[in-house]
Chains A and B, each alone.
Chain A
Amino acid sequence: MHELPLAVANLWHADFWYILPAVAAISLVYAATRHERMQPILLHAGRVAVWILGFMFAVFVVLEAMNWWV
């Protein structure tokens, strides 16, 4: 019963939140090199950010699965 709050607390203090400013900056700058106006930049940046985070989540799932099976 106490495991979930502990897990949430660990999640809150986990260092992987540091990836968010990096992903935001990378996606915005990358998108800005492909468009000139702000609206397409933001739309493109959103797509890039979702792609990066989705890819990293997929890698996370694979590693967790390997950790569970091995």
Chain B
Amino acid sequence: MDDSQTVDLKEPALAAFLAWLLPGLGHWYQGRRAKAVLYFCCIMGLFLLGLYLSSSRDKCLDGPGTIGWGRAVYFSWRDGDHRLAYLCQIGVGAPALPALIQANRMANHRKVWWNGLMAPPRLPEAPLPDGDPNADQPTPNDLYHMDHYFELAGFFTMIAGLLNVLAIYDAWAGPVASAPTGKKDDEDRSHA
């Protein structure tokens, strides 16, 4: 970074929380508007691309419903379905939080919202009482048969969450100082 430039981080803890809550929001709060827009566009663009790629109107293989929307982002910690990818995806903050609501509704046998957006898949092995409100939800078998786009969407959304961790650190502590190589930061020093 340019050592001659000081960055006003205001309240770093609040900025870091805001940066987690919505990519770029912490930088916007600090007045670093250009970086806020850059972080928001890059991270949310990647996240939304992942949601789009894991959406489908195709019929489920094991049920009467359709695949639905944004299936790559979901939380599940059940026997046979431990979704570790969500630990990365939650780095995006509020945009990934609907997955927790959907997981809670699924666990309590209540109908999931928003056409299954970010809802965990229905486990066919689990005992399904008559009138299960989520009987139309896809199973893991349905998701892994969405060609390869389910994995690709998982990759995009995980990368988005991990990139936001970098943005959170940037909001907390400012730009990371590069090693003084004499060449890498020439463009910075030329503006000093």
Within 8 A of B (CB), among A1-56: 15, 18, 21-22, 24-26, 28-30, 32-41, 43-44
Instruction: Tell me the complex Cα distance, A39–B169, Å.
Output: 21
With A22-B156, A40-B188, A43-B187 as known contacts, state yes or no: A34 contacts B163, CB within 8 Å.
no
Of the candidates B160, B175, B178, the one whose C-beta lies within 8 Å of that of A36 is B175
Q: Which residues of B contact A37 (CB under 8 A)?
A: 2, 5, 188, 191
Main secondary structure of the interface of A (DSSP, over half): helix
With A21-B49, A25-B163 as known contacts, state yes or no: A33 contacts B42, CB within 8 Å.
no
With A15-B148, A24-B42, A36-B35 as known contacts, state yes or no: A30 contacts B166, CB within 8 Å.
yes
Of the candidates A24, A33, A43, the one whose C-beta lies within 8 Å of that of B166 is A33
Of the candidates B2, B42, B148, B159, the one whose C-beta lies within 8 Å of that of A35 is B2
| Band of interface residues on A | 20 to 34
Q: Which residues of A contact B160 (CB under 8 A)?
A: 25
- Cβ contact within 8 Å between A25 and B159: yes
Residue B142 is within 8 A (CB to CB) of chain A in the complex: no
Of the candidates B156, B170, B187, the one whose C-beta lies within 8 Å of that of A32 is B170
- Cβ contact within 8 Å between B7 and A25: no
Of the candidates B7, B43, B176, the one whose C-beta lies within 8 Å of that of A34 is B176
Residue B38 is within 8 A (CB to CB) of chain A in the complex: yes
- Cβ contact within 8 Å between A29 and B167: yes
Q: Which residue of A lies closest to B159 (CB)?
A: A22
Q: Which residue of A lies closest to B156 (CB)?
A: A22
A-contact 0/1 string along B161-192, CB 8 Å cutoff: 00100110110001110100000110110010
Q: Which residues of A contact B64 (CB under 8 A)?
A: none
Q: Which residues of B contact A32 (CB under 8 A)?
A: 35, 38-39, 167, 170, 175
What is the interface of chain B, defined by CB distance below 8 A to chain A? 1-2, 5, 7, 32, 34-35, 38-39, 42-43, 45-46, 49, 148, 152, 155-156, 159-160, 163, 166-167, 169-170, 174-176, 178, 184-185, 187-188, 191
**Can you sample 18 A-B contacts with CB below 8 Å?**
A25-B43, A25-B46, A25-B160, A28-B38, A29-B166, A33-B169, A33-B170, A35-B1, A35-B175, A35-B188, A36-B174, A36-B175, A37-B2, A37-B5, A40-B2, A40-B185, A41-B35, A44-B184
